[in-house]
Amino acid sequence: MNIAVTSPSFSRHPILQKKVLELSPKTKLNTTGIRLKNNDLFEYIKNYEALIVGLETFDKTLLSRLPKLKVIAKYGVGLDNIDLEYCKKNNIHVAWKGGVNRLSVAELTLGFFLSLTHNLYQTSNLLKDGKWIKSGGFLLSQKTIGIIGIGHVAKELVKLLKPFGCKILVNDIINQDGYYQSQNLIKSSKKDIFKQSDIVSLHTPLTKQTFHLINKDTFKLMKENSFIINTARGDLINLKDLETALFNKLILGAAIDVYDQEPPICDKLLSHPNLINTPHIAGNAKEAILAMGTQAIIGLKEYYNV
């Protein structure tokens, strides 16, 4: 079994290192800490038939240059960085399991909810600057929450929100009426979610339909004291429009863990005091990293039937 691991975080994890080297002792690990791209990525993987990949882009152009490639095991849950149609047509197996890190992402999302509503982030930063501002925000309890994309993470978030007694509006392209009824969720249009919600939380994959789902027109619909949260994919929000919305006070605040380019280069946006910005850590709780890596290895074992 000829394996190359492109993901730096997988490659540097001691338990995952041990597990994958037990599977294939000659496995190539990317321990540089650098996310490979373009020709550097090609040169790293060109002679391998099995890959464990993270967020690197595997488009048609790259995949067509890899005639030896048989299987890609995904370390993580999103597949928008892999050209699945090309893989299917060319018999490249993609080993993947959804929702492995769902609790990690859901917990961070709830943390964003509480940090924004109670001014934890803002007042902490003010106090570091010597400013004693006792602005405690408002309760999360009983507020209206809008969730767009009702997959694994969103369902965990619904569980976590139960003690707060929130009114939860939901929207998804898949019919899940039975689940909505069982959880007392309100099926809503995106427009109604934007207009009515105190907090809008995004949990959709990135597709042509969801690219820049949140934009200047969306912010015009939202309440001035509302928040937007994105722990899904960076391009779901037009970050230039988010910057405008925050600085023009169209919304009260936001929290983002993902960006259209990573690391981000939107310095003005990141400087806004009512924006919480984290470096794509939502799914990176220690337990989630181990679970995602283990699942990628299981995917290879199942493919090779070992």
| CATH number of 158's domain | 3.40.50.720
Residues 264 and 157 in one domain: yes
Residues 228 and 185 in one domain: yes
Residues 291 and 183 in one domain: no
Rounded Cα–Cα distance for residues 269 and 241 (Å): 10
**56 catalytic residue (yes or no):** no
Q: What's residue 77's pLDDT?
A: 82
Q: Which candidate in 233, 272, 287, 302 is catalytic?
A: 233
Least confident of 11-20, 31-40, 142-151, 246-255: 31-40
Residues 215 and 265 in one domain: yes
Q: What is the mean pLDDT of residues 196-203?
A: 98
Radius of gyration for the chain, computed over Cα atoms and rounded to the nearest angstrom: 21
Q: What is the pLDDT of residues 282-304, one digit of tens each?
A: 999 999 999 999 999 999 999 99
Number of domains in the chain: 2
Determine the residue type at 212: H
Q: What's residue 98's pLDDT?
A: 87
Q: What is the mean pLDDT of residues 53-72?
A: 96
Q: What is the pLDDT of residues 206-226, one digit of tens each?
A: 999 999 999 999 999 999 999
Q: What is the mean pLDDT of residues 190-216?
A: 97
Q: What's residue 71's pLDDT?
A: 98
Here the tokens at position 209 are: 């339909």
Of the pLDDT bands very low, low, confident and very high (cuts 50, 70, 90), residue 64 is very high
Residues 156 and 81 in one domain: no
| 80 has a pLDDT exceeding 90 | no
Closest to 254 measured CA to CA, from 298, 297, 219, 300: 219
Of the pLDDT bands very low, low, confident and very high (cuts 50, 70, 90), residue 168 is very high
| 120-157 exposure pattern, b = at least 16 Cβ within 10 A, e = fewer | ebbbeeeeeeeeeeeeebeebeebbbbbbbbbbbbbbb
Q: Which candidate in 22, 43, 65, 262 is catalytic?
A: 262
Q: Which candidate in 12, 93, 118, 280 is catalytic?
A: 280
Q: What's residue 276's pLDDT?
A: 98
Q: What's residue 232's pLDDT?
A: 96
Here the tokens at position 232 are: 């899904």
Q: What's residue 249's pLDDT?
A: 97
Least confident of 70-74, 76-80, 118-122: 76-80
Q: What's residue 121's pLDDT?
A: 96
| 33 has a pLDDT exceeding 90 | no
Residues 268 and 125 in one domain: yes
Q: What's residue 149's pLDDT?
A: 98
Residues 62 and 88 in one domain: yes
Residues 107 and 239 in one domain: yes
Q: What's residue 285's pLDDT?
A: 94
Bond prior to 205 in cis (omega within 30° of 0): no
Rounded Cα–Cα distance for residues 173 and 306 (Å): 38
Q: What's residue 1's pLDDT?
A: 87
Residues 82 and 174 in one domain: no
Q: What is the mean pLDDT of residues 75-80?
A: 87
Closest to 148 measured CA to CA, from 258, 243, 232, 234: 232
Of the pLDDT bands very low, low, confident and very high (cuts 50, 70, 90), residue 78 is confident
Q: What is the pLDDT of residues 90-116, one digit of tens each?
A: 999 999 998 899 999 999 999 999 999
Q: How many other CB atoms are found less than 10 A from the CB of residue 49?
A: 16
Residues 70 and 95 in one domain: yes
Residues 241 and 154 in one domain: yes
**152 catalytic residue (yes or no):** no
Is the C-alpha dihedral spanning 268, 270, 271, 273 positive or negative?
positive
Which range of residues forms the domain containing residue 91?
3-100+285-304
**233 catalytic residue (yes or no):** yes
pTM of the model: 0.90
Rounded Cα–Cα distance for residues 277 and 251 (Å): 16
Q: What is the pLDDT of residues 82-97, one digit of tens each?
A: 999 999 999 999 999 9
Question: How high is the mean pLDDT of the chain?
Answer: 96
Residues 88 and 198 in one domain: no
Q: What is the pLDDT of residues 135-163, one digit of tens each?
A: 999 999 999 999 999 999 999 999 999 99
SS3 per-residue string spanning the chain: CCEEECCHHHHCCHHHHHHHHHHCCCCEECCCCCCCCHHHHHHHHCCCCEEEECCCCECHHHHCCCCCCCEEEECCCCCCCECHHHHHHCCCEEECCCCCCHHHHHHHHHHHHHHHHCCHHHHHHHHHCCCCCCCCCCCCCCCEEEEECCCHHHHHHHHHHHHHCCEEEEECCCCCHHHHHHCCCEECCHHHHHHHCCEEEECCCCCCCCCCCECHHHHHHCCCCCEEEECCCHHHECHHHHHHHHHCCCCCEEEECCCCCCCCCCHHHHCCCCEEECCCCCCCCHHHHHHHHHHHHHHHHHHHCC
